[in-house]
Structure 1
Amino acid sequence: MISRFLSFVILVPLAILIVVFCVANRAPVTVSLDPFGTLPQFVYQIPLFLALMAALIVGTVIGGIGTWFTQAHYRSAAWKRRQEIDRLKREADDARERLRQERESRAAALPHATGTALAAPRPV
């Protein structure tokens, strides 16, 4: 509940600022994709707020991709740990099953010991 309230308190003023910025910067600017200025077909007239918002979105996407690549080793280590945990759980389950079968076979081999069970090992 508190996180929703904080999100509301932060995002509403931010949205208002973005709308005010976009309304105040509607004038067209020339954007050229030609670094040498020799090709006029790579020149566009777009509103300033659109150019800035596009740059902000592209920067956020590129930053997110860069972060994702730099954190790849953490994801790899987590995957390896998960595989190791799963392997150890399977080994522990197999060991418990073998112990249960061994107890049953010993109990069956001792017919005179009716009603007595083998002592279970103490948990560690």
Structure 2
Amino acid sequence: MLNRVVLIIVVVPVAVALIALAVANRAPVAFTLDPFNPGNPALTTALPLFVLLFLALACGMIIGSLVTWLRQGRYRREARAKSKEVQNLLRQTSQSAPDAGAGVPATRA
């Protein structure tokens, strides 16, 4: 139910705005990679403005996701180390106590 509400409130208006942007900006514009010689045909292409905007949006999302993934690397590394430590401790306790519940003290509630 919450997914439908989010879809209706967020995704639908964004989609309508993007479609309106694409329809309003269909004229080709020159995109050049050489700011000092904008007339260089080897480094200039003509694309509709909405294509350039969508490409910029996609590149921004990819770069932002990559930076976030890289910054969270130490937490993933720490989680892997903790998981290995837990597995080792579980393996050690299962080997040292063949009766699974015998070595665990009872707790009071």
TM-score, normalised on structure 1? 0.75
The Cα of 1:6 is off from its aligned counterpart by: 1.6
Quick one: distance in 2 between partners of 1:96 and 1:59?
54
Instruction: Please list every run of 5 or more consecutive structure 2 residues that lacks an aligned counterpart in the other structure.
Output: none
Between the two proteins, the alignment pairs up a number of residues equal to: 103
The Cα of 1:8 is off from its aligned counterpart by: 3.1
1:109 aligned partner: none
2:14 aligned partner: 14
Q: Tell me, yes or no, if structure 1 residue 53 matches structure 2 residue 25.
A: no
Q: Which residue type is aligned with residue 50 of structure 2?
A: F
Q: Which residue type is aligned with residue 60 of structure 1?
A: M
Quick one: distance in 2 between partners of 1:73 and 1:121?
35
Quick one: distance in 1 between partners of 2:9 and 2:72?
31
Higher relative contact order (CA 8 A, sep 6+): 2
TM-score, normalised on structure 2? 0.84
Q: Which residue type is aligned with residue 31 of structure 1?
A: F
Q: Which runs of 4+ in 1 moved over 4 A?
A: none
SS at match of 2:97: helix
Q: CA RMSD in A?
A: 1.8
Change (3 A) 1:94 1:4: farther
Greater Rg over alpha carbons, structure: 1
1:62 aligned partner: 63
Q: Which residue type is aligned with residue 15 of structure 2?
A: A
Quick one: distance in 2 between partners of 1:26 and 1:77?
49
The percent of aligned pairs where both chains have the same amino acid is 36
